Structure formats: structure tokens, C-alpha cells
Amino acid sequence: MTAAEAPGIDLLIGLDLAGFRQAVLAWFDSRGRVFPFRGTTDPYLVLVSETLLQQTQISRGGPAWVRFTAQFPTAESLAAATPAAVLRAWQGLGYNRRAINLQRAARIVVEELGGIFPRDVEGLQRLPGVGPYTARAVASIAYRLPVGAVDTNVRRVLGRVLTGDPAGLSARELQAAADELVDPEEPDDWTHALMDIGSTICRPVRPLCPDCPVAMFCRYAAGDRPTGVSSRPVTRRTRRDGPAGDFTSTTRWLRGRILDRLRAAPDEAWINVPAPIGEHDLAAIARSLRAMERDGLLELEVLDQVTAGAAGPPSPRARLPIA
């Protein structure tokens, strides 16, 4: 690949690539973190770990991976389960659509691909819930393909090393550079190592440059930062988040409480979802229920009590999906 084809790789000109790789991998050999999910190259088990870790802290992700894979040790077992069982197993991990997408991916592998996971980034990315990062993480760890998995932590490390500023690179440039940097002999350790450096040393605020194995290659550490670049983390909030600290006013909170109720119900039982829940009225609950139905998180039935002669507005009933 030439610099013209992938603009990011011209950033590597002048970089001691062999030295950079050696420094990263030597550090990982002695200082890399040990987690139960790092001992496997089974693409299903790797996909479970990467899905779990997308939005769950790694300290919770490890035990959660052990529990989840004990209950669903293979793609076949996950595909055969009811979505209700999968959602119950996912309890406490949040972002429940990840669980539904994980099961959809397992069903595609089992029912359409003969039980064989795609062996390349493009094929992996066609599975539900698998984006560019997850596809590359699975490809590099399970199949040892030399592709660069770029998450927030890796973006920060490579951005600081190559330009002094994570915001100084476009996503395309960064991906091209990440793909070129991967150690072709040990892409699995490379992926783990960059994640560890990003989360434990190259912290968003006050990175630990004196302890960093790539400090000698790093433009940020050399003080080569664009003017005006702050070392403060960027916190992105949306209007849907509501006021700071007011999590109970969010749709996410409401969806979590609805799922709590459905998880607590007996298998296959429909339950009423009465209003209010917290400060959310019936209209807000109905909107969330419909959105959750579209996401595959529940089955929904609306009983028109007015038509049935009862007073009050329609009363939604729901249950966890059973098929």
C-alpha cells in the first residue's frame, strides 16, 4: 500500500518500525495484563470478550466473560438459547442490544455459515453488532491476521505517538497507520499490548510517559503537540443524557428498569408495565417499549382496556423474547 492510497502511512516515514514493534511486544511480555479471555483463539469466545468489553469495564468484563461462556460455551449453544435466556445472562452488563446482536451473529454462523466463523475482516463485519474495531480485534486475536484494531485507547496512543495529538488524524489515516504498524509475527499480542498501553499508561489525562515503552518514539512525549491541544479528556454528552448526574431521567435508565422487571418475571409470562416508572409517564414508557421491541429486546402486546370496558389508557404488556 502506498502513502497515496492510504494517507495515514506517510506518518510512519522516519519511524523506527522494528524498534517500535520490539518495544511494544517486549513490554507486553513482561507487563501485559492477564485475563481469562486472553488464553483463547476460538473466534466465538474472542467475539464474546470483545463484545463484552465494548462498554463494560475490563475488571467486570473478565468475570462476566467466564460466567457467560460457562453458560454458552459455543456459538451453537448461544444460537439455540432463547433471547430471554441470553438477556438474563447479560444482566448487570448494560447496553443489552449487544447481547441480542451477539446471539444474532451466532445464529447466522450456525444456521447460514455451517458453524464456521468468517475468517476475514470483511466477513466478520457483516455479522450483527460487529464494527471495524471488533472485526479487526477478532481477526488479529483469533486468526492472527495483521490488522490494526483501533478503539479509543489505541487511537489515543497512536495519535500521540505519530502526531502528538489524537485529534490530529482522521479515522482513515489512523486505520491505515494502525494496519501498517501491526507486528506481522504477533498480531494477537500486538492488539492486546496497544490496548493495555492505552488503558494503563497512555491515560487521557496525565499520561505516564516516563513508564511508557514507546516514549522514545512519541511526539507527544517529546513535547511536539499542536498549539491549543488540551490534555483534558473530551466528554461527549447528548441531550438525551439529561442534566449532569440526572441519569434517572434518561431513556437508557428507563429501558434498564423495564428490562429488570421483565427479567424478574417467570419464563414466557406476560407482565403489565404500569406507569409511572420513576419520572417517566405512560407515553414515555410506551415509546421505550416500542423501541425495545424493534431492537429485539422484548415482545410487546398492547391491551386496549378502554375497548374492554376498563377505565384508563391502553395498558402495555411485555415479556422477554422467547424465539
User: Cα separation of 257 and 22, whole Å?
Assistant: 48
In sequence order, the β-bridge partners of residue 316 are 302
- Per CB under 6 A, which of residues 162..201 are in contact with ligand SF4? 201
Q: What are phi and psi of 122, to 5 degrees?
A: -60, -45
Nearest Cα residue to 190 out of 46, 25, 12:
25
User: Cα separation of 190 and 149, whole Å?
Assistant: 9
Candidate residues 209, 271, 300, 303; the one interacting with ligand SF4 per rule CB under 6 A? 209
- Per CB under 6 A, which of residues 248..307 are in contact with ligand SF4? none
Selecting among 5, 50, 185, 279, the annotated active-site residue is 50
- Per CB under 6 A, which of residues 128..157 are in contact with ligand SF4? 157
Q: Are 105 and 83 in contact (CB under 8 A)?
A: no
Choose one: 144-152, 208-216, 224-232, 248-256; the region binding ligand SF4 (CB under 6 A): 208-216
Cβ proximity to ligand SF4, 151 vs 299, nearer residue: 151
- Identify whether 50 is a catalytic site residue: yes
User: Cα separation of 138 and 147, whole Å?
Assistant: 10
Residue linked to cell 476475514: 120
Q: Shortest gap between Cβ of 198 and ligand SF4 (angstroms)? A: 8
The DSSP element (H or E) to which 198 belongs, if any, is helix 187-200
Contact map string, positions 43 to 62, toward ligand SF4, x by CB under 6 A = --------------------
Residue linked to cell 494503563: 200
CA contacts within 13 A on the Cβ side of 233: 12
Cβ proximity to ligand SF4, 142 vs 157, nearer residue: 157
Binding residues for ligand SF4, rule CB under 6 A, total 14
Q: What angle, rounded to 10 degrees, do the helices at 43-53 and 97-112 form?
A: 160
User: Cα separation of 21 and 225, whole Å?
Assistant: 23
Cβ proximity to ligand SF4, 62 vs 198, nearer residue: 198
User: Cα separation of 77 and 285, whole Å?
Assistant: 33
Q: Shortest gap between Cβ of 71 and ligand SF4 (angstroms)? A: 38
Cβ proximity to ligand SF4, 75 vs 214, nearer residue: 214
Cβ proximity to ligand SF4, 135 vs 212, nearer residue: 212
Choose one: 45-53, 55-63, 207-215, 308-316; the region binding ligand SF4 (CB under 6 A): 207-215
Candidate residues 32, 148, 187, 207; the one interacting with ligand SF4 per rule CB under 6 A? 207
Contact map string, positions 212 to 251, toward ligand SF4, x by CB under 6 A = x-xx--x-xx------------------------------
- Per CB under 6 A, which of residues 70..99 are in contact with ligand SF4? none
Q: Is 161 in the site for ligand SF4 (CB under 6 A)?
A: yes
Q: Shortest gap between Cβ of 224 and ligand SF4 (angstroms)? A: 10
Cβ proximity to ligand SF4, 110 vs 182, nearer residue: 182
DSSP letters for 129-184: T--HHHHHHHHHHHS--------HHHHHHHHHHHHS-GGGS-HHHHHHHHHHHS-S
Distance, C-alpha 95 to centroid of its chain: 9
Cβ proximity to ligand SF4, 209 vs 286, nearer residue: 209
Cell of 101: 446482536
Q: Which residues bind ligand SF4 (CB under 6 A)?
A: 157, 160-161, 201-202, 207-209, 212, 214-215, 218, 220-221
Active site residues: 50
